[in-house]
Amino acid sequence: MSEESRLRWQCRRGMRELDELLVRYLEESYAGDSEDDKAAFRAVLELADPELNGYLLQRQIPSSESIARVINRILRRIQT
């Protein structure tokens, strides 16, 4: 399984809105990301759904600066 296929599978969270946000970021930004941002996105995909929801709904702030940076980039994609 290629890395992109594995990441696409991990983007499937069972909540359509989350799936769309994560897949859109994967398709539109991931390939051009720095290695640090790629690692942070992979870390985002490892988060538990309640924690990820809290970040994406802006109810919580990630303690990790790199995860916060990727979450902010994902949220900015909503506005474009």
CATH number assigned to the domain comprising residue 59: 1.10.150.250
pLDDT score recorded for residue 73: 94
What is d(CA 26, CA 24) in angstroms, rounded to the nearest whole number?
Answer: 5
What is the value of pTM for the model shown? Answer: 0.90
Q: What is the pLDDT of residues 46-75, one digit of tens each?
A: 999 999 999 998 999 999 999 999 999 999
Statement: residue 77 has pLDDT above 90: no
Total domains in the chain come to 1
H helices present in 1-80, as ranges: 3-10, 16-28, 35-46, 49-56, 65-79
pLDDT tier for residue 80 given thresholds of 50, 70 and 90: low
Nearest by Cα to 73 from 42, 35, 30, 39? 30
Residue 71: which domain range? 3-79
